[in-house]
Amino acid sequence: MEKKRRTSVFEKLLLVVGFLVLIIGYFFINKVFIAEGYKISWGFLQTVFLWLLMVIFIILLAIGEDIKEGILLEQLDEIKDLKETILKRKNR
């Protein structure tokens, strides 16, 4: 049976920030596109590239946090098993 873990406050905050970056970034990119006269210019490409970098960074941060939480839960289980083993040996 697989244990279900709860989402941390940091992960919830990261989700909110991620959505805000997506939405606000989209509107800023649209604003730049309109300001440039509906043409793809160097400023527009820079804006899109930086926005995509921010989105990728947030995704990688979320993945890293998930992996960290998984490792911590595995270590907690191992420590509990070691504690039980030591207590059993002590009681013999």
N-to-C CA span, the chain: 31
Per-residue pLDDT reduced to its tens digit, 32-74: 889 888 888 888 888 899 999 999 999 999 999 989 988 988 8
Q: Is residue 2 part of a domain?
A: no
Residue 76 lies in a domain: yes
Evaluate whether residue 31 is within a structural domain: yes
The pTM for the full model equals: 0.76
Contact residues for 65 (Cβ-Cβ < 8 A; gap 6+): 8, 10, 11, 14
Confidence (pLDDT) at 79: 94
For residue 1, is it within any domain? Answer: no
| Residue at 60 is within a domain | yes
In a domain, 4, yes or no: no
Q: Which domain holds residue 38?
A: 9-91
Number of domains, the chain: 1
Within a domain: 13: yes
Q: Is 59 part of a structural domain of the chain? A: yes
DSSP conformation letters of 34-92: HHTTS---HHHHHHHHHHHHHHHHHHHHHHHHHHHHHHHHHHHHHHHHHHHHHHHHHH-
